[in-house]
Amino acid sequence: MSDYLKFMGPCPICNSRFNEADLEIVSQAGNVSLFHADCISCKSSVFMTFVKGEAGMVTNVGILTDLTKKDFRTFNNSKVITAEDILELHKALKRK
């Protein structure tokens, strides 16, 4: 897990570093891992994807969410989450 932390950027809102304890893998498929992270400083929730490639680890842009880990688990139980699902979720949250 600390490998991921090394590649993870700071909180997009307040620039605080995430701690290992704030990270949770919500989905992993092949080389792609999806993380949910809670910022302890500003209480933002962020989704981040990590893609393991030949050149090392690549992180994708964090997606802000107001879903808590608990909410997301409920959501996650219903079906397999893909990156497209997350983007759809992001759009849905923006429409609120």
Interacting residue ranges for Zn ion, rule: CB under 5 A: 11, 13-14, 16, 39, 41-42, 44
Closest by CA to 26, choosing from 85, 62, 69, is 69
**Least distance between Zn ion and beta carbon 16 (Å):** 5
How far is the C-alpha of 39 from the C-alpha of 84, rounded, in Å?
Answer: 24
| DSSP β-ladder status, 32-38 and 63-65 | unpaired
How far is the C-alpha of 32 from the C-alpha of 92, rounded, in Å?
Answer: 23
Nearer residue to Zn ion within complex by CB, 1 or 42 = 42
On whether the CB atoms of residues 61 and 90 are closer than 8 A, the answer is: no
**Least distance between Zn ion and beta carbon 18 (Å):** 9
Nearer residue to Zn ion within complex by CB, 28 or 41 = 41
**Least distance between Zn ion and beta carbon 22 (Å):** 10
Nearer residue to Zn ion within complex by CB, 61 or 78 = 61
